[in-house]
Amino acid sequence: MSRIVNGHRLPDEVDEGAPNRREFLSALGLGIASAALAACTRAPDERIVPYVHQPPEVTPGVASFYATAIVEDGYATGLLAESHEGRPTKIEGNPRHPSSLGATSAIHQAWVLQLYDPNRARGIEQSGRPASRRALEEHLGKQREAARATRGRNVHLLLSPTSSPLMLARLDHLRAALPEVHVWYEPGASPVNAWEGARRAFGKVLEVDADLSKAEVIVAIDSDPLARGPLSLRDARRFGQRRRLRSPDETPPRLWAIEPALTCTGIAADDRVRLRASDIGPFVIALLADVLDAMPDAKVPAEVRSAIAGVLRTKDDRRARLVHDLLAHKEKSALIVGPSQPPEVHAVVHAIHAALGAIGPTITLRPSPIAEAGGPSFAHAPLLSALDGNAVDLLLVSGANPAYDAPVDEDFTRRMRKAKSSVVHALHAHETAREASWIVPARHGLETWGDARAADGTLGIVQPLIAPLFNGLSDTELVAMLAGDPRVEDHEALMALHAGEEGAWERALQAGIMDGTAIAPLPPTLDGGAVAAAMGAIKPAPAGLEIGFPLDAKVHDGRFANVAWLQELPDPITKLTWRNAARISTATAKRLGLSTNDEVDLVLHDRSVRSTIVVSPGDADDVITLSRGWGRKGAEDLARDRGSCASHLRTAVAPHYDVGVAVRAIGTQYRLAITQEHVQLHGRELIAVHRSRAEWKKEPDFAADLRKPQPTLYKLPIVGSPLHNQWGMVIDLAACTGCSACVVACQAENNIPTVGEEAVRERREMHWLRIDRYYLGDSNVDGEPRAIVQPMLCQHCEKAPCEYVCPVNATVHSEDGLNEQLYQRCVGTRFCSNNCPYKVRRFNWFRFHHPSETEKMVFNPDVTVRGRGVMEKCSFCVQRIREAEISCRTENRPYKDGDVKTACQQACPTGAIVFGSIADPKSGVSVARANPRQYAALDESAGTEPRVRYLAKISDSSEEKA
């Protein structure tokens, strides 16, 4: 995109005291932003400061983009942050970063709002009283000097997992001062089981990297590789590329999902096996046994082959079909096991890969970029026993919230109080911070200098976009402070670490990555004995109700729980907002006599948690799923007391799932705020069209009737005026997984307000783009429903029903085919919404925007902030279109395809959304419209001639062939 002006290095820090240029800029940004925003309604009260000395890289009104990265559990995803006059407003993916390829997740999109969270911790506190940075430094210095006597044995650090060379250098420095200091890494959200599985199978800790661009059979085993995990954006992109079929003769990879609860990957899957998480192990060893039986010459250690004799194999048609698929493609198979499954299952799957010969061609194994991955430091237990032994003089927690998230039987909160001094470094005064003697506010990632590795090891620099809003410290600074390192400032230290040859630093900042830093794959050898032992360790699980505790799709482990955009984002599967709920399958709900909104007590090992039932068709029977990250009790206003805390049921031995839970209905109801109450198509299959590949073959042009122009007495108002681009969009339902990144991207780009739980319950949510999810099948959604997701946004109808009913001409058609909404003309009759067949128009029932001083800074200055009483809807990101047109004019060049990307398109991991001019026959969108799967939703009934077209979903179930 032309408007990306990448690579302006932020200026070096100048001497402390006087505001440096960055601080000045951000203050200025705030002033201008508040003034501009206030001007929308009434005259500004604030005094504003004119741009007397304009910094050279800042042009008012023109956004700059800086490469940076978000680090989640140590893994980096490269991002580009959009900055308007010194304030970051929007996140995009960094196309050059291997973990992003230009895409982002919903969480990445919402990350920028977390920066401006008014609930963030605002200053250092000692026992609830404000303290100075100097006091903290003195305290840590005292602790350090006191600990020197014991070589730091009684100093414990619990850190977020890290891949940062800077952090490791800082820790080395600390160890130089205190050689026996204990450094623990928070295991809660890390793939410790996967590491351990690899260690068992290969004798060393390795991470699996499946190449979905080559795999012909992809098996997601209790995992969600297309939406979750450090490589999910890349994997989704590769998968999406192979799903965008042009003819029935192309062969897409077949995707299997074996899972206890429906995931985004499960939605995209051709075949699903619904299993309790505890039944997956036995399924997987039977799978290995079947594969080995069918491949007598497979190169596997003898111990493994002999171990299959003891494998219990019940007859299972689905497994037979899966084995058939695997054997048909052998080395082009990729089995991806989720972090919840025990190490044994990971080990067995490594053996399956080895048997199929997939290691090398499709599966790459390389050492983890995470420091001490798979090591003993990823555990709470030693720290807890040290606490119990009163052997902790200083506990420093950074980037972790064990008081909330640790398994309940670890009783972290109580034990933590035994530390003589505790320092908690966090973005918020969360549960752990509240127990600490010192709270140190953390810097948000967009305020921090740092470095981090992608999942494949590629190193990138984290650039700050703004001076710290609330005087935070970075984790590396804090460690340096404890170590007594005089070079506390990260920027200097980072430069020293990565300077290299002339210009390398600048190049790294511009690109966001340092080339050639990926970790080389290792050719491993399978340890037969260990795999055989693992096989033996997998026992059939007892029958009964299982409860699973996955990380939440929106708030992860709770760290994003105070971000309104994520709170209000409908869960990709249940469409639930503002809390979690106990998911159960339709059959299980029927068996237990429960339905959505019923309040229940979930009882496990004599511990009980109150939650609300949400029936989720497609989940495995006898499985309850209660995602983590909810039921928070910290200082975060939005997060507090929303939903139920899964960690009150999790135990250290079974932190991911457990069998034997009891459900007790308590007879009351809680009305959940679910954005889609009706999940079936009611005989309207032509809304979200789905065909099997066999059906497509039989009828290659099945969609012809659904896209042909409807008979009319009138000429279409605008068709292909040669003077203009004619904007159009195509969304490929075969590639869409429903991950919802586009929903938040749209919200961030277009200043869409959040409305709160009560208003969502009344269906007054404001999302311009929503993702409809339907369960297909004629009778009901009891059995094996197939889900289809359909992003629904303004269809920019050429014959728009909204336009002719507006009494004041507030919604009109543009010459380039946009259905435009004029906020300043709208009087709010809502007639347009009534006549919109797609119900994509959103009304400001109240004044929904109540931003705090900081939250105002997130607004996109290119988009009006709407007031009360007006209608709004998707504009096809008209601000981006006009900006591109203006740059074409000023640069005196014709528009070329791809100059404009809508926010949803840019965020989409699978590339399911294509946007461009349909007047240009060579544009991507025209090519997509020529696809035989292309159809117009509802056009046949409503005659709307929409500019948004869909490509019918094609699935290729193994059942079909059999």
Partner 1 sequence: MSATSLPEIAHELEDKPPVLVGRPDDRSLDRRVLGALWSPSIARWWWPLFLFSAGGTGLLLFLMLYTVVTGIGVWGNNIPVAWGFGITDFVFWIGIGHAGTFISAILYLCAQRWRTTINRIAETMTLFAVVNAGIFPLIHLGRPWFAYWLVPYPATTGVWPNFRSALPWDAAAVSTYLTVSVLFWYSGLIPDLAAMRDFQTSRLKARIYGLFSLGWRGSAEQWAQHKTVYLILAGLATPLVLSVHTVVSFDFSITQLPGWHSALFPPYFVAGAIYSGFAMVIMLLIPIRKLYKLEDVITEAHLEASAKLMLATGWIVLYAYALDPFIAWWSGEPTELYLQTFARPLGPFAVLYWTQIFCNCVVPQVYWIKRARRSHVVLFIGSALILFGMWLERFVLIYTSLARDWLPSSWHDFTPTWVDGGLIFGTACFFVFNYLLFLRFVPFVPLSELKEMRHELEKEDLEKAGEELPYEKEARGVVPAR
Site for partner 1, rule CB under 8 A: 676-684, 687, 759, 762-764, 770, 772-774, 790, 792, 801, 804-809, 825-831, 833-835, 837-839, 841-847, 868-871, 938, 941-943
Start-end of H helices in 499-585: 504-511, 528-537, 564-568
Nearer to partner 1, 346 or 770 (CB): 770
- Residue 642 tokens, joined: 């929303």
Please state the closest distance from residue 572 (CB atom) to partner 1, in A.
Answer: 14
Nearer to partner 1, 669 or 833 (CB): 833
Angle (deg, nearest 10), helices 528-537 and 343-356:
130
Nearer to partner 1, 595 or 835 (CB): 835
Which CB atom, from 271 or from 765, has the smaller least distance to partner 1? 765
CA 507 vs CA 80, 136, 145, 501, 698: distances in Å: 15, 36, 41, 11, 53
* Cβ nearer to partner 1, comparing 681 with 865: 681
Q: Please list the helix, strand and coil fractions of the chain in percent, rounded to the nearest 5, in that order.
A: 30, 20, 50
Please give the helix or strand (H or E) that residue 387 lies within, else none. Answer: helix 381-388
Identify which of residues 4 and 812 has a Cβ nearer to partner 1 in the complex.
812
For residue 296 the two structure tokens come to 């007598």
Measured from the CB atom, the residue of 252 and 828 that comes closer to partner 1 is: 828
d(CA 392, CA 380): 14
CB 319 within 8 A of CB 355: no
Angle at 595 between CA 592 and CA 600, to 5 degrees: 70
Tokens 């705090």 correspond to 852
List 365's β-bridge partners, or say none. Answer: 208
Distance CA 383, CA 184 (A): 8
- Tokens representing 327? 């054997």
Beta strands in 87-243 (DSSP E): 87-93, 125-126, 129-130, 155-159, 182-185, 206-210, 217-221
Query: What's the rounded Cα separation, in Å, for the pair 425 and 183?
Result: 15
CB of 358 to partner 1, least distance (A): 39
Shortest Cβ 777–partner 1 spacing (Å): 14
In the complex with partner 1, the residue whose CB is nearer, 865 or 942, is 942
**Nearer to partner 1 by C-beta: 106 or 687?**
687
Q: Which of 631, 632, 626, 633 is nearest to 656 (CA)?
A: 626
Minimum Å distance from CB 813 to partner 1?
A: 12
- Least distance CB 99 / partner 1 (angstroms): 32
Token pair of 294, please?
């069918």
Instruction: Name which of 61, 69, 56, 75 is nearest 11 in CA terms.
Output: 56
- What is the distance between the alpha carbons of residues 782 and 138, in angstroms, rounded to a whole number? 64
What are 635's two structure tokens? Answer: 């200082």
- 630/838 with CB nearer partner 1: 838
User: How many Cα atoms occupy the beta-carbon half-sphere of 431 within 13 Å?
Assistant: 25
Closest to partner 1 by CB, 47 or 682: 682
Q: Which is nearer to partner 1, 275 or 771 (CB)?
A: 771
Amino acid at residue number 771: I
Taking the complex as a whole, how short is the minimal distance between the CB of residue 419 and partner 1, in angstroms? 49
Do 401 and 208 form a contact (C-beta atoms < 8 A)?
A: no
If the CB atoms of residues 392 and 731 are measured against partner 1, the closer one turns out to be 731
Structure tokens at 649: 């049921």
Give least dist CB 792 to partner 1, A. Answer: 7
CA distance 31 to 383: 47
C-alpha of 266 from chain center? 16
Q: Where do the DSSP E strands lie in 818-902?
A: 819-821, 842-843, 871-872
How many Å apart are CA 792 and CA 657, to the nearest integer? 35
Longest alpha-carbon distance in the chain: 93
SS3 309: helix
Cβ atoms within 10 Å of 134's Cβ, excluding its own: 9
Q: Using CB atoms within 10 Å of the CB of residue 641, give its burial: 0 to 12 exposed, 13 to 18 middle, 19+ buried.
A: exposed
CB of 807 to partner 1, least distance (A): 4
Min separation Cβ 947 and partner 1, Å = 18
CA distance 576 to 674: 4
d(CA 549, CA 541): 17
Question: Minimum CB separation from partner 1 for residue 826, in Å?
Answer: 7
Name residue 255's beta-bridge partners.
218
Phi, psi (degrees; rounded to nearest 5) at 749: -70, -40
Kindly state the smallest distance separating residue 831's Cβ from partner 1, in Å: 6
Q: How far is the CB of 597 from partner 1 (least distance, A)?
A: 14
Residues paired with residue 632 on neighbouring β-strands, in sequence order: 640
CB of 871 to partner 1, least distance (A): 7
Shortest Å distance, C-beta 747 to partner 1: 16
* Nearest residue (CB) to partner 1, 311 versus 870: 870
For residue 474, the minimal CB distance to partner 1 (Å) is 42
Rounded CA gap, 433 and 423, in Å?
8
| SS3 state of residue 129 | strand
**Which residue, 69 or 826, has its beta carbon nearer to partner 1?**
826
Tokens representing 469 are: 């809003």
Q: How far is the CB of 713 from partner 1 (least distance, A)?
A: 15
For partner 1, the closer CB: 68 or 675: 675
Nearer to partner 1, 826 or 900 (CB): 826
In degrees to the nearest 10, what's the CA dihedral of 468, 470, 471, 477?
Answer: -70
Q: Considering the complex, what minimum distance in angstroms separates the CB of residue 623 from partner 1?
A: 26
